[in-house]
Structure 1
């Protein structure tokens, strides 16, 4: 019996057959897909990072040895492994090594702390915790050791450098070990756990399966016309769904190289220039990259700039075009659906929409918010989707799944969208969201979760958390509070530190009020509060102490 039986929602058997007969889903595991690519392109660069480089042949051999080492430690196929690491060459090596050992990566963030890790690790029954020594923001090794205490399943603490640096062993024996493990895995079985942005509480767990997850990535690479000569620059966290789908797996599906940078443009732009990157994905936090003095050299060989994370300012498209850089948009989610404006899309579509679904078997509907009626093209409703790489349910979340999916299996994204026809192309524009989320430079912060955490402070009587506009990150978190006595940002920071909450979730502005405004039906009037904070902070918004 599979350990996830009854805990994850499977694709219907007839649907699996249809996807496979259409040539979308393959029959290999992700580890076997990498091995096949490495056999075809052994001497091509697989990863060029700020801390080193590796060819496909070297990556394949080294990850075999890492997998054999993990197996020798007593880790068993199906064991979940928390990944809490940053953008490094070793991170990619560890990723494939864990998959080759038949283990299941759980994609947490380096910024997560006990509030998140404690809940997520218990929900999936994590057996190992992989962390990076010397990571910015705290000692993750000590943190991981603390998380192991009194944990029912978390037995192994893995340190990134120690795991992948010069793994010993016999390469032939390691390859035989990996082949034996992979023969026992189901290509339609769980390969990876990604995390949602969440609308209530700690992020929900998203099961991604070998065949559909690799297909998602390969279809993404094909949508941009990538070849083995493509060099894909990636600057945002690589263990995010975007990092795996849009960079690691997508590039490797066609034998292309990942140019793995970091969020620091002073590090990443020189790397892009030296490695002659041909494609770069820019999130909202990097929308001002064109103003950096190193941007011109970094994009000298770039043929594609993909923008993702928020509505793209027209001035940014104009600036990229002035520089002779082709640009398009991407909308994607850990739950599945990707929309892109690939080469050949009209400029209006690329500048004003997120384009078309990635797969010919993706199905989208725009429904009346809260209902099942479909709205006409041009009208705004909730974007719903079903398809060959969109989940059918979160892990252990039957009650939530009943609300998050239509009766016929369409996922309710919570995003407001409209279908527009441009030059005969039916494109999707994203118009906002139903979900109460704050998009802080691509990190999704659940407003309700922050509200509940603030309400744990003994002086807080009432609270409403809303997004406030920010010129660099798109949005930051503002908390309106009613408190017994003065309550300021320093109080909030001390409270969240004591609760061991990831820093990106901490409120970045406190507005103290005598009461929280309500609508006529008694609900918190967040529309009013968002308008108020937008007027207060203006175009030069910053953090208020």
Structure 2
């Protein structure tokens, strides 16, 4: 299906591809808003979301988001205007998202951890007209005051807040949802082929890359993934991570309306409460990543909880230890916002579920393992770069022609920069993750590049030069380590001092280096370029030596 209204800077699938994917069912023929309306008709009294002690049914969610969509248009937001999001994991976020989907306003899926650098860059790229913010989503950081300040700096006319007191000139979500206005008819404005959301990609640079996700494509992507776990209407899932991440959108937003299905939302992570909620709500499907996985696997009181409702638990890595600890069928998986998901299935052997990241979800996904940086395809059992194309593949980053020029093979396969090895296990072609080519860091599921950190480090008066690389961590998978060269006659800052300096410059807290290594020079390759691999190996070896003492 072709879009009714195109956005400059968005790369759309060509007409032939659109006809094929729509015709074979690889894309849905409806919008996100229509999917919610359908869910409300099918199961009006079923609970859509549970959060703490609050519940909302699909009929209630449909009605309140109709009111919000109309209120957003009355406020002055128009078709395909962008809205920045900095909200937490709660029902208000779901309401705000579906209100935008129905109004044709495009959420820019930021996260509460972003600060001046990230929000400023996104604002310049997307020119948002709205800003949804949850005051208390930033912990001790006042997100509302921050959002109001950023809105002034970047000429964002409408700030909408939830979670506590507001400030002058800021609208509240509750007030907008309380307005009684005629429902919108947007059938001639946008369709399943139009942009639903701007998702963000973590990468090797400090500049956020924006990924347009389309209504029908996004719905089908979530459907094909969740169908791998044999989900059904009425199933209950639990989500304890950011809703605005791509995984959060697919599991807690798309999954909810596709089936329809109930989602238990956890605003704050607490492993004991996680198990309590699984038991209380009779959760059947649980998804976790990053530091939550080892916390689940090491929770000492699993036996005290009734987990008999759980059918499947899926995680990016660590499925074997989770299954051993809980007795629940668990699988590793792989997901990338650019449009590919790989996963094991309930019927797969433990070797597949635990020893790989699984297999493709859509029969239309094409996967190639290529020689890194090249176009030669490698045979099974050889390690190479994971490249793919398919119904949910990125067509091109938003307004980024230079990046797009190097992100795809000549025949349209997206280059992930991830190294994998294909294997045949039990007759299935599965994939094993072997690391990354690029220099981004994955701290508990938050991926970020090092360019912006190094740029700010260079401003420190005591530092002559600094490079940041990933170092291994048992809980978060990776953390940032800074290799620093001191200016002559100066003493390098401590980790705490450097962190305070970077925070003051506007860097997000989760990007802060958590270890400093002093050095006189940086290793280089044979052609004289910085050898980041050598720096990563150096800190990994040092950490291993320290752990063995």
Same fold (TM over 0.5): yes
User: Do the aligned partners of 2:4 and 2:190 also contact (CA within 8 Å) in 1?
Assistant: no
User: Do the aligned partners of 1:436 and 1:448 also contact (CA within 8 Å) in 2?
Assistant: no
Tell me: CA distance 1:169–1:525, structure 2 relative to 1, closer, same or farther (3 Å).
closer
Q: Secondary structure of 1:284's partner?
A: coil
Aligned mates of 2:440, 2:382 — CA distance in 1: 22
User: Do the aligned partners of 1:111 and 1:137 also contact (CA within 8 Å) in 2?
Assistant: no
Aligned mates of 1:503, 1:433 — CA distance in 2: 23
Aligned counterpart for 1:106 among listed residues 100, 105, 108: 108
Tell me: CA distance 1:75–1:51, structure 2 relative to 1, closer, same or farther (3 Å).
farther
Q: 2:169 — aligned with what?
A: none
Aligned counterpart for 1:69 among listed residues 43, 47, 71: 71
Counterpart check, 1:213 vs 2:218? yes
List runs of 5+ in structure 2 lacking aligned partners.
164-171
Aligned mates of 2:447, 2:100 — CA distance in 1: 27
Q: 1:328 — aligned with what?
A: 331
Aligned counterpart for 1:237 among listed residues 232, 239, 242: 242
Aligned mates of 2:187, 2:142 — CA distance in 1: 34
Q: 1:156 — aligned with what?
A: 158
Q: How many Å apart are 1:294 and its aligned residue?
A: 5.0
Aligned counterpart for 2:281 among listed residues 269, 275, 280: 275
Q: Secondary structure of 1:263's partner?
A: coil
Tell me: CA distance 1:169–1:451, structure 2 relative to 1, closer, same or farther (3 Å).
closer
Q: How does 1:358-377 map to 2 (within 5 A)?
A: 358-377=361-380
Q: How does 1:103-502 map to 2 (within 5 A)?
A: 103-135=105-137, 136-152=139-155, 154-161=156-163, 162-164=172-174, 167-170=177-180, 173-174=181-182, 176-177=183-184, 180-261=185-266, 262-288=268-294, 289-293=296-300, 295-296=302-303, 297=305, 299-308=307-316, 310=317, 312=318, 314-317=320-323, 319-320=324-325, 323-484=326-487, 485-487=490-492, 488-502=494-508
Aligned mates of 1:88, 1:3 — CA distance in 2: 31
User: Do the aligned partners of 1:129 and 1:157 also contact (CA within 8 Å) in 2?
Assistant: yes
Tell me: CA distance 1:95–1:294, structure 2 relative to 1, closer, same or farther (3 Å).
farther
Aligned mates of 1:390, 1:298 — CA distance in 2: 40
List runs of 5+ in structure 1 lacking aligned partners.
none
Q: How many Å apart are 1:314 and its aligned residue?
A: 4.6
Q: Structure 2-normalised TM-score? A: 0.92
Tell me: CA distance 1:63–1:403, structure 2 relative to 1, closer, same or farther (3 Å).
same
- State the superposition RMSD in angstroms: 1.9
User: Do the aligned partners of 1:269 and 1:294 also contact (CA within 8 Å) in 2?
Assistant: no
Q: Secondary structure of 1:457's partner?
A: coil
User: Do the aligned partners of 2:196 and 2:213 also contact (CA within 8 Å) in 1?
Assistant: yes
Aligned mates of 1:519, 1:167 — CA distance in 2: 58
C-alpha offsets along residues 59-99 of structure 1, whole Å, 9 cap, x if unaligned? 11111111122122111121101110111111111111111
Q: Secondary structure of 2:362's partner?
A: coil
Bigger drift between 143-152 and 41-50 goes to: 143-152
Q: Secondary structure of 1:149's partner?
A: helix
Counterpart check, 1:42 vs 2:47? no
Aligned mates of 1:423, 1:79 — CA distance in 2: 49
Aligned mates of 1:501, 1:421 — CA distance in 2: 44
Tell me: CA distance 1:270–1:166, structure 2 relative to 1, closer, same or farther (3 Å).
farther
Q: How many Å apart are 1:51 and its aligned residue?
A: 4.9
C-alpha offsets along residues 515-542 of structure 1, whole Å, 9 cap, x if unaligned? 112233222232332222123333987x
Tell me: CA distance 1:294–1:275, structure 2 relative to 1, closer, same or farther (3 Å).
farther
Bigger drift between 361-370 and 266-275 goes to: 266-275
User: Do the aligned partners of 1:471 and 1:539 also contact (CA within 8 Å) in 2?
Assistant: no
Q: Secondary structure of 1:412's partner?
A: strand
User: Do the aligned partners of 1:64 and 1:97 also contact (CA within 8 Å) in 2?
Assistant: yes
C-alpha offsets along residues 18-53 of structure 1, whole Å, 9 cap, x if unaligned? 101101212211101110111001111111112511
Q: How many Å apart are 1:456 and its aligned residue?
A: 2.7
Tell me: CA distance 1:196–1:166, structure 2 relative to 1, closer, same or farther (3 Å).
closer
Runs of 4+ in structure 1 deviating by more than 6 angstroms, as ranges, are none
C-alpha offsets along residues 308-350 of structure 1, whole Å, 9 cap, x if unaligned? 1x4x375444x14xx4311112211111111111122222111
C-alpha offsets along residues 414-467 of structure 1, whole Å, 9 cap, x if unaligned? 000111000110001111111111110001021233222212323322222111
Aligned mates of 1:43, 1:270 — CA distance in 2: 24
Q: Structure 1-normalised TM-score? A: 0.93
Aligned counterpart for 2:13 among listed residues 11, 14, 22: 11
